[in-house]
Amino acid sequence: MITSPAPPYTANPPIKVAYDASSNIEAHLVMHQLQQAGIEARIEGEYLQGGVGELAAAGNLRVMVDEEDLEEAKLVVAEWEAIDTG
């Protein structure tokens, strides 16, 4: 039996918290700001909001980025917060 070689292993880069959001809307706003800046971002905990009655109310909704993009993401978030708070 002939088998093809396994594809080279590529690990996913570590991801880090770029922003702790207080709401789903806030998480999406931050995620879109990061994406517009060219940073791949994703939301973790988005579907846990339905269980808030049984889960801790804070810390469940996070915007995540690759570790290598964390510093730039923090700058983008800081600029967004400065504009948002006026």
DSSP class per residue in 22-77:
SSHHHHHHHHHHHHHTT--EEEESGGGGGGTTTS-SSS--EEEEEGGGHHHHHHHH
Task: Please give the chain's pLDDT, 86 residues, in tens.
Answer: 565 555 555 567 788 999 999 888 999 999 999 999 999 999 998 776 555 555 555 557 899 999 999 999 999 999 998 986 66
Cβ neighbours for 84, distance < 8 A, ≥ 6 positions apart? none
C-alpha 32: how far from its chain's center?
10
State the architecture of 15-85 in CATH terms: 2-Layer Sandwich (3.30)
Coil/strand/helix, residue 64: strand
What is the C-alpha separation between 65 and 27, in angstroms, rounded?
13
| Cβ atoms within 10 Å, residue 1 | 2
Residue ranges of the domains in the chain? 15-85
